[in-house]
Chain A
Amino acid sequence: MVFISIPLRNLKRRLLRTILTSFGITIAISSFIVLVSMSRGVEKAWVNSLLERGVHMLALSREAVEMLTAAIDENLAMDIKNIDGVNDVSGELVNLVKLENDFHALLRGWPKDSFLWDTVHLKAGDIPGPMESHKILIGETISEISDIKVGDTLKIRNEFFIVSGINVPAGTMNNSAIIFHLDTLQKLMEKERKVNEFHLKLDHPDNQEEVQRVQERLNQSLPNLAFIMTKEIAEKNDILKIFRNVTWATSLVAMFMALFFILNTLLMSVSERTKEIGILNALGWHQNRILLMIVIEGIIMASIGAILGSILGMFSLFWLLELPKLRGFFEPGVSVMMYLEVFLITLFLGIFGSFYPAFRAIRLNPVDSLKYE
Chain B
Amino acid sequence: MKKEIVSLKNICRSFETQQVQALNDISLTIYQGEFLTIIGPSGSGKTTLLNIMSGMDKPSKGEVFFNNDKIDSYAHWVKIRSKRIGFVFQQFNLLPTFTAIENVEVPMFGIIKDRERRRLDASELLHQVGLKERLNHFPNQLSAGERQRVAIARSLANSPDLILADEPTGNLDSQISHSILNLLRDINLKKNRTLVMVTHNHEIAELADRVITILDGQLVKG
Chain A interface residues (CB < 8 Å from chain B):
1-3, 6, 9-10, 12-13, 275-276, 279-287, 289, 366-367, 370
Contact = CB atoms under 8 A, between A and B. Distances in A.
Q: Chain B: interface residue count, which band?
A: 20 to 34
B87 interface: yes
Interface string B51-91: 10010110000000000000000110011111101010100
Contacts of A9: 97-98
Contacts, number: 63
Interface in B38-59: 51, 54, 56-57
Contact of B115 (A1, A279, A289): A1
Given A2-B115, A13-B97, A289-B109, A284 B89 contact: no
Contacts of A2: 115
Contacts of B74: 287
Contacts of B51: 367
A367 B154 CA distance: 19
In the A-B complex, the 10 residue pairs with the smallest Cβ-Cβ separation, listed nearest first, are A284-B82, A284-B81, A283-B107, A366-B56, A279-B93, A286-B78, A1-B102, A9-B97, A367-B57, A282-B87
A3 B56 contact: no
A289 B106 CA distance: 12
Nearest to B154: A283
A3 B98 CA distance: 12
A370 B93 contact: yes
Interface in B84-132: 85, 87, 89, 93, 95, 97-98, 102, 105-107, 109-110, 115, 118-119
Given A1-B98, A283-B107, 16 more contacts: A1-B102, A1-B115, A2-B115, A3-B109, A6-B106, A9-B98, A275-B93, A276-B95, A279-B95, A282-B93, A284-B79, A284-B158, A285-B82, A286-B82, A289-B109, A370-B89
A168 B28 CA distance: 93
A282 B115 contact: no
Q: State the main secondary structure of chain A at its contact with B.
A: helix
A2 B109 CA distance: 9
B81 to A, nearest CB: 4
A90 B111 CA distance: 75
A284 B107 contact: yes
Contacts of B107: 283-285
Contact of A282 (B81, B83, B98, B119): B81
14 contacts: A1-B105, A9-B97, A13-B97, A275-B93, A279-B95, A282-B54, A282-B56, A282-B93, A283-B81, A285-B78, A285-B82, A286-B78, A289-B110, A366-B57
A289 B82 CA distance: 12
Nearest to A289: B110
A366 B81 CA distance: 12
A221 B50 CA distance: 90
A337 to B, nearest CB: 38
Contacts of B57: 366-367
Contact of B110 (A1, A13, A286, A287): A286
A1 to B, nearest CB: 5
A281 B95 contact: no
A372 B33 CA distance: 33
A13 B78 CA distance: 28
